[in-house]
């Protein structure tokens, strides 16, 4: 029997996110300090023997804090897309039986799908001993989505351009965070359209400025999903600490561990990797 290998796919938090004016094609340049955190999806890979086709099984882990319906076709999931892209790149079948057990909520701005896709690329390189150069891995990741390349590299980095430029940014020690995972989602496209409509910021800022996290998309996310604004304010008043939105929302975080009993939506303590 083929060996089964388990790979951990970490979520991410944007400690800062600066968004520039869109290009003619609507794409926005960013400058963001992203960190990987200890909330993981599990990607379980077994190499196929005597077959050329692969199988994919996607579901929630038993301890997932905020499971929702998996209502998209398997072939549209980023693990399947990453697998197809790697097969195309190396020019031969890479048969695997892949099982994904998710914990990172969908539509929270935590990069769960991007992390899964990046880990599939790395897992295939590992399982089949492909020896794909780092530059090629980053190119493949960028084809899958703007956040995927970040998960190929170091766990803390400044991500700029359109997600393809990765500069390591080591964290001093381990940061303790609390992730707040409300039963809300923010459509990324809608948030960016609202951001453009606001017309407040047109120039990128340095992603590491001052001591406080910032997010240029936070206000737009709260317009797109007004319940997010109300919940954020209520949690700030209850917890007595700032509550930040990550990515395009709707997940939030604090930069410390807080009493989970004071939070009436799913929340987990995590740390930076």
pLDDT in tens, 27-66: 899 999 999 999 999 999 999 998 999 999 999 999 999 9
For the domain spanning 176-271, the CATH number is: 3.30.70.890
The pLDDT assigned to 170 comes to 86
Of 87, 104, 106, 85, nearest to 95 by C-alpha is 87
Residue 84 has pLDDT above 80, yes or no: yes
215/202 Cα distance (integer angstroms): 14
Whether residue 102 lies in the annotated active site: no
Q: Can you name the residues that pair with 166 across neighbouring β-strands? A: 159
Q: Which of 12, 81, 102, 122 is flagged as catalytic?
A: 12
pLDDT digits (tens, 9 = 90+) for 139-158: 999 999 989 999 999 999 99
**For the chain, what percent of residues have pLDDT higher than 90?**
87
Please write the tens of the pLDDT for every residue from 188-242. Answer: 999 999 999 998 777 788 877 667 899 999 999 999 999 999 999 999 999 999 9
Determine the distance from the C-alpha atom of residue 67 to the mean position of all C-alpha atoms in its chain, rounded to a whole number. 16
The CATH number, out of the four listed (3.30.230.10, 3.10.180.10, 3.50.50.60, 3.40.50.150), of the domain defined by the range 4-168 = 3.30.230.10
Q: How far apart are CA 17 and CA 217, in angstroms?
A: 8
Please give the pLDDT value at position 229: 96
Rounded distance between C-alpha atoms, residue 9 and residue 167, angstroms: 20
Contact 250, 105 (CB under 8 A): no
Identified catalytic residue from 25, 147, 261, 264: 147
Compute the mean pLDDT over every residue in the chain, rounded to the nearest whole number: 94
Q: Is 25 tagged catalytic? A: no
The residue extents of the domains of the chain are 4-168, 176-271
């Amino acid at each position: 029997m083929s060996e089964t290998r388990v790979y951990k796919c970490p979520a991410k938090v944007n400690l800062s996110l600066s968004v520039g004016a869109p290009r003619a094609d609507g794409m926005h340049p960013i400058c963001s300090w992203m960190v990987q955190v200890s909330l993981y999806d599990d990607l379980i890979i077994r190499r196929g023997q005597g077959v050329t086709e692969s199988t994919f099984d996607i579901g929630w882990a038993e301890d997932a804090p905020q499971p929702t319906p998996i209502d998209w076709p398997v072939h549209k999931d980023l693990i399947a897309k990453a697998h197809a892209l790697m097969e195309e790149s190396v020019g031969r079948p890479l048969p695997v039986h892949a099982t994904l057990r998710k914990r990172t909520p969908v539509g929270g701005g935590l990069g769960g799908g991007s992390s899964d896709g990046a880990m599939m690329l790395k897992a295939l390189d590992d399982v089949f001993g492909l020896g794909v150069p780092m530059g090629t891995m980053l190119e493949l990741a960028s084809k899958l989505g703007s956040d995927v390349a970040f998960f190929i590299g170091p766990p803390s980095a400044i991500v700029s351009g359109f997600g393809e430029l990765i500069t390591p940014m080591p964290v001093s020690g381990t940061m303790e965070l609390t992730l707040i995972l409300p039963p809300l989602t923010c459509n990324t496209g809608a948030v960016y359209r609202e951001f453009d409509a606001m017309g407040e910021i047109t120039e990128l800022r340095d992603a590491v400025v001052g001591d406080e996290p910032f997010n240029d998309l936070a206000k737009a996310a709260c317009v797109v999903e007004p319940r997010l604004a109300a919940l954020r304010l209520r949690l700030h008043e209850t917890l007595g600490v700032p509550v930040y939105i990550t990515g395009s929302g709707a997940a939030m975080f604090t930069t410390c561990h807080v009493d989970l009993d004071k939070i009436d939506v799913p929340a987990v303590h995590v740390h930076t990797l």
